[in-house]
Amino acid sequence: MSKVIMIVLDGLKYETARASMGYLNHLVEVSQAACYKVRSELPSLSRPLYEVLLTGTPCSVNGITANHIVRLSHQKSVFHLAVEQGLKTAAAAYYWVSELYNRAPFERIEDREQHNEALPIQHGKFYFDDVYPDSHLFVDAEVLRQQYDPDFLYIHPMGIDDIGHKFTSDSKEYRGKALEADMILATFVPLWMSSGYEIIVTSDHGMNSDGHHGGTGDEERDVPFYAIGSMFSPGEYPDEIPQLVVAPLLCQMLSLPLSEAMNFVQVPGFKLNI
């Protein structure tokens, strides 16, 4: 079984990832990574898509239909499935992730840092301010990795999304924030690669030129998906893959049984297709 690190760069649209993230695309060019375009589910909003990415279910099934739906998920997430199989889980993420899988509503003092082997996210550092620096968030994640050695580590920074809302996706600020995230990844990804991790870098949704998301436009729905590690044949894959496949794909990578609600679709270049 391999260990998996999943990074969700909130609000990063596909075109900006391909144009601005030099390090990630370098890995594709030198045949050390695979790159895909993922079509997000609707609505292209954050909380509903966190649930999509981690449970493989659409909002019409899971009931997380909007950002203001504050409750625990009714579905089995990758976190749940991992813990059931005796794996160790961790997350450095926005507090909505804690509200979906650990405790809801979020209590800032009690839930900022969580360590409980009985919870789906056994070790978590959760932030609640959209301007929490991405640089700090990745350090939070690395502390969790070094201290607890999780089999599944979920990392979720908010900087790109925050800047996109303030300046739109058609701005130097948005492109600059993507560059910043790429430079942070250039610091940590080589370390994780050398330690044998399978690494996924993707996004929940994109951002349009008005500084919004939630609708059906390509800018809002098309997001990148980079796969780094031994389980994917490197290269650029032109066919769009559905976002609902991400959770069952993670299960395959972690040697976990799929939940009854998940539906695995074969992904080109993935070596464990069933």
The terminus-to-terminus CA distance of the chain in angstroms comes to: 16
139-176 confidence digits (pLDDT tens): 999 999 999 999 999 999 999 999 999 999 999 999 99
Residue segments in the chain with a per-residue pLDDT below the cut of 70: 274
pTM of the predicted model as reported, rounded to 2 decimal places: 0.98
117-137 confidence digits (pLDDT tens): 999 999 999 999 999 999 999
pLDDT confidence of residue 272 = 87
State the residue range of the domain holding 160: 4-253
Whether residue 167 is contained in a domain is answered as yes
Task: Give the Cα separation of 36 and 269 in Å (integer).
Answer: 10
pLDDT confidence of residue 177 = 98
Whether residue 101 is contained in a domain is answered as yes
pLDDT confidence of residue 273 = 80
pLDDT confidence of residue 94 = 98
What is the number of other CB atoms lying within 10 angstroms of the CB of residue 28? 19
pLDDT confidence of residue 55 = 98
DSSP percent split of the chain into helix, strand, coil, nearest 5: 40, 15, 45
Counted domains in the chain = 1
What CATH number is attached to the domain comprising 123? 3.40.720.10
Task: Give the Cα separation of 98 and 137 in Å (integer).
Answer: 15
Whether residue 258 is contained in a domain is answered as no
Read off the amino acid at residue 96: W
pLDDT confidence of residue 274 = 66
Whether residue 194 is contained in a domain is answered as yes
Whether residue 132 is contained in a domain is answered as yes
Whether residue 209 is contained in a domain is answered as yes
| 136-145 residues labelled b (16+ CB within 10 A) or e (exposed) | ebbbbbbebb
Whether residue 262 is contained in a domain is answered as no
Task: Give the Cα separation of 227 and 241 in Å (integer).
Answer: 13
The two tokens of residue 41 are 């589910």
pLDDT confidence of residue 37 = 98
pLDDT confidence of residue 107 = 98
On whether the CB atoms of residues 155 and 136 are closer than 8 A, the answer is no
Task: Give the Cα separation of 106 and 87 in Å (integer).
Answer: 25
Whether residue 196 is contained in a domain is answered as yes
